[in-house]
Amino acid sequence: MRAVPATCVSGGVDALDRSPTAIALVRDRCPRRRARFGACADGRLLPPATLIRPAMLEPLRRIVQAVNHASALEDALGIIVREVKVAAAADVCSVYLTDFDAREHVLLASDGLRPESVGRVRLPLNRGLIGWVAERADTVNLDDGPAHARYLLVEETGEERFRGFLGVPIIQNRKVLGVLVLRQREARRFSDDAVTFVITLAAQLAAAIALARNTGELGRIHQHGGDLPSRYFAGRAASPGIAFGTAFVVYPPADLDAVPDKPVVDIDAEITAFRAALEGVSGDTARLASRIGAGLRHEDLALFEAWRLMLESESLIDDTVARIREGNWAQGALRQTIAEHVRVFDRMDDAYLRERGADVRDLGRQVLMRLQNRGAPQAAYPERTVLVGEEISAMQIADVPRRSLTGIVSTGGSSSSHMAILARGMGIPAAMGVAGLPVNRIEGRAVVLDGYRGRVYVSPSPSVRGEYERLARDDRELSAELEVLRGLPSETTDGYGMPLYLNTGLVSEQRPLGIEESAGVGLYRTELPFLIRDRFPGEETQMANYRQVLQMFAPRPVTIRTLDIGGDKPLPYFPVEETNPFLGWRGIRITRDHPELFMTQVRAMLRAAVGLHNLQLLLPMITTVDEIDDALLLIRRAHDDLLEEGHDVCMPPVGAMIEVPAAVYQAEALARRVSFLSVGSNDLTQYLLAVDRNNAHVAALYDDLHPAVLRALVDVVKGARVYGREVSVCGEMAGDPLAAVLLLGIGVHSLSMGAGSLLRVKGVIRSLSLTRARELLRLALKCETGEEIRRLLVDALEDVGLGGLVRPGR
C-alpha cells in the first residue's frame, strides 16, 4: 500500500483544555498552528479559546462534564463516541483500549462501526493504524487511512468505507491506555480544531480509564464476567510485608466540620464538659497504649506520649476555653481551635510534621465524641482483618485485637503518618495513599495487600493469591533468618563495621525490648515539643526532654538537631509566611537571626548531657561556612556561660547537615570547622532533582538512587576525608537495603533510620564484603539512570539470597 504522510502532534497532554502545558505541547509540536497562540505581556499563554473555535467550546465543556459525572466507564465511553462524532462532524468515533495482559487493542465503544463488532474486535498489540498510534504515543492524522502501509483491514467492523483517519493516544502517566479514533468517508485530513478538540477529550478519558483499571471495572469489561482480573490499586508502601484478610472499613468517629456555632448557655458548664472530655480521651489513650504497647519500640510508644502532650497543650486548652468564654459552646469552640491548629501543620512542607495535623484532627474527633456523649461503637472484627479507610487513626488501629489485625490500607496519608509508624512498629503490612480505592464498596471482600510496593488486590484471582502465598512463605523464612541477626554486630563479611542508628522525634518513659539493637540515635528531631505549645518552651522544659533521651541511650551517642522551623514548619506563635518556604527563612537561618532561641536550646542540651557525655549537636540547613562559624561561636558562649554558672558541662561534638547542593560543594570547608557531617538525603535529593516528592505531578521523578545523588554523596565523603571527619546518612535512603550497599561502598561511616529497617539493613551489610560494595559502586557510577542502578543492586542482593528484602521481585 502507498504510504501517506501523517500530521503528528503530541498525544501526551493529560490536562484540561485550559492547561497552558496542554496548549504549549500542541503548539510546539504543530508549527503550522503556532500563530494561533497569543501571549500576555507577562509571557503567559492566552487561554485555549484562541486554540478552539467558540463553536466547539460549548460541546467540549458539555462532554467533559458528562464524562466526569458518568457512573461507569461504559457510560463514559458511550458519551464520548456519540458526542465527539457530532461535534467533530465525523462519520465514525471509536475507542480502542489496551488489554495489557492479552497484549491486544480492544474495540470497546463505537458510533459508526457495526455495533456487533464492539467488544469482539481485538487487534494485536502495535498492529495496524491503531497499534501505530499507541506505539508512537502520538496523534496520527491521515487523509487516506486504508492507503497507509500500517493499515490493517478488519472487515467485521465495516471500516472499509471510510478514508480519513484521526487517531489520538489516551495517555496516563506516560502509559498509552488506548486510542480515540475518528473516521470519515471523504479522503481528507481532519482540521486542526478537530485534532485539538479530540486531544483534550482523550486526556479527560484517560483519568476515567485509569480509575476503571484500578477498580477492576475495566477487567470485567475485557473478560465479560468471571474472576476479577489481576489488577491492583496502587498506593505508597508504608510498612513492608504481605497480608491476606477480609476488608473491614472504618470511618471517622465524629465529624468536626459538621459542628455548628451555637451560643453558650452556661459558660462554666461548657468548660467543665470540655475538660472532662479531655480527661476521658487521655484515659482512653493510656489504655490503648497499654493494650498494644508490649514489644513496641521506644519511638512507637512515644506516639502515645505525643497524644498526651497534645491533650495537655496549653494552646489547645486555653484557646478552646477562651472561645467558650467569648460565647461559643464547647463543641463549636473545639472545632475552631482544632481547625486553627491543623492549618498550621497543613502548611508545612516537611512530610513528618505535616502528618501531625492528622493527629490533631483525630484527637479533636475523639474529644468531640466525648462531648457528644458517644463512645466508640463496638465492632465485630473478622478473624483476619485488613483495616481499610480514607483516613485511619492510630486509635482505630489500636482498637483491633492484635491477633486479628493482618494489614492496613488507607486512601490518604503518607509513610510519615502515625498510622504508618505504628504499622511498622507492630510489623503490620500497610499501604498509604491508595488512589481510586472504592472504600464504600469493599466491606467484607477478600484482600491481598503487598506492603512492599503499596499494592492492594480486592477479590484477587486464584493465580494472584497463589503467587502471593508463595511470596509470603519466602517472607516468613527471610524474617526468621533476620531475627537471628539480633545482637550481632553490623559489619561486612570482611570485618568492616557500619553502625546503625535510630531516627526519632519523641521518647517515652518506658524502655521496651529492642532498644539495644541500635548503636544510638543518629537524628533526634526537636521540633514537635515546640509545635504543640502556645509559646517557646523554656530552658528547663527543653532540658527535661533532652535529658530523657540522653539517659535512655547512654552511653551510646545521641545526635540532637537544633530547631529546624520556618515557612515549611511554622509555629502557631511564630508564623512565617513565604511563597516558597523550601528556599526561604528556615533552619539555621532563623536561629542565626534569633540567637536568643538558639542559645536557650543549646544551653538546655548542654545541661541535659551533664554526667552522660553522649550528646552530639547537629546544625540543620547549612548553606555557608559563615553559618557554621556563627553557630559555633554561640555554642562556645553558651558552654562558657554555663561553666561560669557552676554547671559541669562539656563541649559536645558539633556536626553540619548536608541538605542543599551548596553544602555538597563546600563539604571540605565545612568539615574543617565541625566534628562530623550528616547527610539529610530526603531534602538533598529534592533539591538536586528539583522535585517535591509530595507533589503528585512530579513525585515519580524523586529517586535517591539517581546518579546525581550518588555523585553528590561521593563528593561529600571525599571532602570530609580531607580532615578525617565521619559522614552519616539519616534520610530514608539510609533505611533502604539497596541504597545501603552503595553507601557502604561510598565510604559513609554510619546510617540512621527507623527501627523497622535496622535488621533488614544489617542483613545486607553482613552479607557483603566492603570490596564487593565498592565494586558495585564503581558499576553504579557508570549507569546513567536510577533504574539501571536499581536493577544492578537487585541482582546483587539476589546473588547473596537477599532478594526478598526488595520484594516482590517479579
Active site residues: 418, 730
- Cα–Cα distance between 272 and 266 in angstroms, integer? 10
- Cα–Cα distance between 107 and 115 in angstroms, integer? 10
User: Is cis: bond before 537, omega within 30 of 0?
Assistant: no
Query: For strand 676-679 and strand 405-410, is the pairing parallel, antiparallel, or unpaired?
Result: unpaired
One-letter amino acid of 58: E
- Centre a 10 Å sphere on the Cβ of residue 340 and count the other Cβ atoms it contains: 15
Q: In the structure grid, which three cell numbers stand for residue 396, read together?
A: 482505630
Q: How far does CA 276 lie from the centroid of its chain?
A: 37
472 closest CA partner among 241, 247, 246:
241
- Cα–Cα distance between 720 and 701 in angstroms, integer? 29
- Cα–Cα distance between 125 and 132 in angstroms, integer? 9
Confirm if 85 and 111 have CB atoms less than 8 A apart. Answer: yes
- Cα–Cα distance between 100 and 721 in angstroms, integer? 51
Query: Grid coordinates 503528528 are at which residue?
Result: 8
3-state secondary structure of 174: coil
- Centre a 10 Å sphere on the Cβ of residue 733 and count the other Cβ atoms it contains: 25
One-letter amino acid of 687: Y
Determine whether 365 is exposed, middle or buried from the number of CB atoms within 10 Å of its CB (0-12, 13-18, 19+). Answer: buried
3-state secondary structure of 577: coil
- Cα–Cα distance between 358 and 339 in angstroms, integer? 11
Give strand pairing partners of 7. Answer: 141
Buried b (16+ CB within 10 A) or exposed e, 136-154: bebbbbbbbbbebebbeeb
Query: For strand 164-172 and strand 140-142, is the pairing parallel, antiparallel, or unpaired?
Result: antiparallel
581 closest CA partner among 705, 729, 694:
694
658 closest CA partner among 725, 609, 600, 591:
725
Q: In the structure grid, which three cell numbers stand for residue 575, read together?
A: 508564623
- Cα–Cα distance between 539 and 545 in angstroms, integer? 10
Q: In the structure grid, which three cell numbers stand for residue 23, read together?
A: 496548549
Q: Is the dihedral of CA 133, 136, 141, 145 positive or negative?
A: negative
3-state secondary structure of 573: coil
What are the C-alpha distances in Å from 71 to residues 222, 229, 445?
Answer: 18, 20, 21
Query: For strand 175-184 and strand 164-172, is the pairing parallel, antiparallel, or unpaired?
Result: antiparallel
Confirm if 738 and 745 have CB atoms less than 8 A apart. Answer: no
Q: How far does CA 37 lie from the centroid of its chain?
A: 37
3-state secondary structure of 188: coil
Phi and psi based region of residue 158 (left: phi greater than 0; alpha: psi -120 to 50; beta: remaining): left
- Centre a 10 Å sphere on the Cβ of residue 298 and count the other Cβ atoms it contains: 26
Q: Which residue pairs, CB below 8 angstroms and at least 24 apart, start in 475-480?
A: 475/241, 475/242, 475/804, 475/807, 478/802, 478/804, 478/805
Confirm if 210 and 201 have CB atoms less than 8 A apart. Answer: no
- Cα–Cα distance between 445 and 429 in angstroms, integer? 18
- Centre a 10 Å sphere on the Cβ of residue 261 and count the other Cβ atoms it contains: 13
